């Protein structure tokens, strides 16, 4: 098996099936019910979610218009997988029994509540649970949804999904999201030189132009 020769072709994996599978999962995702935040019930499981904006903040009016008739344009897409799951420190069945996905959406709700200029009732969410072996698809489906939808808070405004960086790391800069929507207490502790808000606003305009909406 050890080889001194090198042939790139031998290292390329091809799969037609895969492309169809991702499309199928994305179709399923887009057909699931939409809920307010936090979700009306606590539920178990891990998976992928999207947040949709429908409010009046001038920065995001485009989203309010785009989502007027159907929730097709998420402002943010994310995944929830329990810590340690990726390294199999916990089993698939424990992952299925975790509240990680519910909690992640709830945590986003808290960020929105404390962030200036946003109202929780201006957001809706959609989510899909992946159980057992299908949970390996989570990263792939998250990536596919991001590529497809180019959500603003994933692609052009960094930091919405950040956590408290913790001890020894407050030297870093406040994220773009925290500059636009100040209020998360740990973000205010970050003392690095952050981006000017006018730069971020320009990035938002550029983003909408680039994706042609």
Binding site for its own copies (CB under 8 A): 1-8, 10-15, 17-19, 21-22, 24-25, 28-29, 32-35, 39-41, 43-45, 47, 70-71, 86-89, 124, 127-131, 133-134, 136-137, 139-140, 143-144, 146-147, 150, 154-155, 167-173, 191-192
Confirm if 60 and 75 have CB atoms less than 8 A apart. yes
Task: Return the number of the residue (33 or 185) whose C-beta is nearest its own copies.
Answer: 33
Task: Return the number of the residue (19 or 116) whose C-beta is nearest its own copies.
Answer: 19
Neighbours of 138 (CB within 10 A): 22
The least distance separating its own copies from the CB of residue 134, rounded to whole angstroms, comes to 6
Task: Give the C-alpha separation, 183 to 173, whole Å.
Answer: 15
Task: Return the number of the residue (111 or 149) whose C-beta is nearest its own copies.
Answer: 149
102: β partners? none
The least distance separating its own copies from the CB of residue 138, rounded to whole angstroms, comes to 8
CA 169 to chain centre: 23
The least distance separating its own copies from the CB of residue 77, rounded to whole angstroms, comes to 10
Task: Return the number of the residue (41 or 93) whose C-beta is nearest its own copies.
Answer: 41
Confirm if 43 and 62 have CB atoms less than 8 A apart. no
- Closest-CA residue to 105 (of 192, 162, 191, 39): 39
State whether residue 37 is helix, strand or coil: coil
State whether residue 47 is helix, strand or coil: strand
Task: Return the number of the residue (7 or 58) whose C-beta is nearest its own copies.
Answer: 7
């Amino acid at each position: 098996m050890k080889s001194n020769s090198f042939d790139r072709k031998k290292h390329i994996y091809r799969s037609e099936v895969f492309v169809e599978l991702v499309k199928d999962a994305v179709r399923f995702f887009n057909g699931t019910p939409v809920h307010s935040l936090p979700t009306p019930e606590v539920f178990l499981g891990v998976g992928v979610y999207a947040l949709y904006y429908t409010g009046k903040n001038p920065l995001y009016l485009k989203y309010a218009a785009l989502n007027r008739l159907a929730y097709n344009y998420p402002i943010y897409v994310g995944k929830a997988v329990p810590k340690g799951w990726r390294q199999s420190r916990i089993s698939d069945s424990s992952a299925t029994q975790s509240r990680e996905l519910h909690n992640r959406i709830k945590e986003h709700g808290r960020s929105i509540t404390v962030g200036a200029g946003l109202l929780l009732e201006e957001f809706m969410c959609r989510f899909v649970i992946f159980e057992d072996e299908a949970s390996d698809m989570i990263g792939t489906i998250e990536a596919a949804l991001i590529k497809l939808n180019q959500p603003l808070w994933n692609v052009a405004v960094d930091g919405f999904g950040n956590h408290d960086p913790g001890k020894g790391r407050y030297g870093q800069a406040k994220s773009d999201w925290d500059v636009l929507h100040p209020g998360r207490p740990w973000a205010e502790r970050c003392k690095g030189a952050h981006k000017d808000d006018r730069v971020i606003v320009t990035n938002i305009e550029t983003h909408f132009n680039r994706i042609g909406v």
